[in-house]
Structures are given as C-alpha cells and as structure tokens.
Amino acid sequence: MTYAIVKHTVQDYGKWKPVFDRDGKNRKAAGCKGTQIFQGASNPNEITVLLEFDSREQAQKMIESNGLRETMQHAGVIGKPEISFLTGGERQPQ
C-alpha cells in the first residue's frame, strides 16, 4: 500500500467538505481505495487528508493532476498544500 498525506488550510471547512465529497468519484477513478480526513485540534480549517492507493504511481498521478488542483482551488484551499508519501502501514499489537 501507498499513502498520500495532503496537508492544507482551507477558508472554511463547511464549504470545503461538500466539494471534497463530490470529488470522490474522481479519487476512485484514479485508484484511491479510501480516505481519512483530520482537522487541526486548534484550527478546524487546517486539514490533513490521508489517501490510500495500491501504488505510488497512482497516488502521484492523482496528486499532480490538473483536476485536483482545480478542485482544491474551487474548495477554498489557501496556499500550496504540503504533500508526502508513505508505504507499508504495518499494524502492531498494543
């Protein structure tokens, strides 16, 4: 598994979230297997999105797409997002 982590600030989470939800079909078509959304504890407009893919190539292609840039702009993302990639995801018993 490959995970893409996208951190960004939005103007208004309440306006950003419906745009994110409507874009689900595009994420699925790009090979995204699922997402998790996190909001900053002290600022709910600081968003971190964790996206799961089978390969880094799929993740990178979606992250670099013009469609995603346009969607983020429409959703009210402020500034340039911080993006990183992870592999693995091994779970450890507690």
pLDDT in tens, 31-83: 999 999 999 999 999 999 999 999 999 999 999 999 999 999 999 999 999 99
Q: Looking at domain 2-87, which CATH architecture does it have?
A: 2-Layer Sandwich (3.30)
- Reading the block at residue 2, the tokens are 């490959």
CB atoms within 10 A of CB 8: 20
Q: What confidence category does residue 88 fall into, taking pLDDT thresholds of 50, 70 and 90?
A: confident
Q: Which amino acid is at 85?
A: F
Q: Report the pLDDT value the prediction gives residue 9, as an integer from 0 to 100.
A: 97
Q: Report the pLDDT value the prediction gives residue 40, as an integer from 0 to 100.
A: 97
Q: Report the pLDDT value the prediction gives residue 90, as an integer from 0 to 100.
A: 77
Mean pLDDT of 76-93: 90
